Amino acid sequence: MAFQKVEIRDFQFSPPPVNTLPEELRTNEADPTIVAQVTFKCLMPGDLIWLNGLFHVTNEANSIASVTHIIKKNGSDIYRAETEVDIDPNDNEGQIFKQQYVDQNMTFQSNVTYSLVASSDISNVFRVLPVILTATKIVEGKNRLY
Domains of the chain by range and CATH?
11-137 (2.60.120.40)
> Mean pLDDT across the chain, nearest whole number?
85
Please give the model's pTM, rounded to 2 decimal places. Answer: 0.85
* 3-state SS string for the chain: CCEEEEEEEEEEECCCCCCCCCEECCCCCCCCEEEEEEEEEEECCCCEEEEEEEEEEEECCCCCEEEEEEEEECCEEEEEEEEEECCCHHHHCCEEEEEEEEEECCCCEEEEEEEEEEEECCCCEEEEEEEEEEEEEEEEEEEEEC
Whole-number pLDDT of residue 146 = 35
Q: What is the pLDDT of residues 15-57, one digit of tens each?
A: 766 667 788 999 999 999 999 999 999 999 999 999 999 888 8
**pLDDT value at 113 more than 90:** yes
Whole-number pLDDT of residue 4 = 63
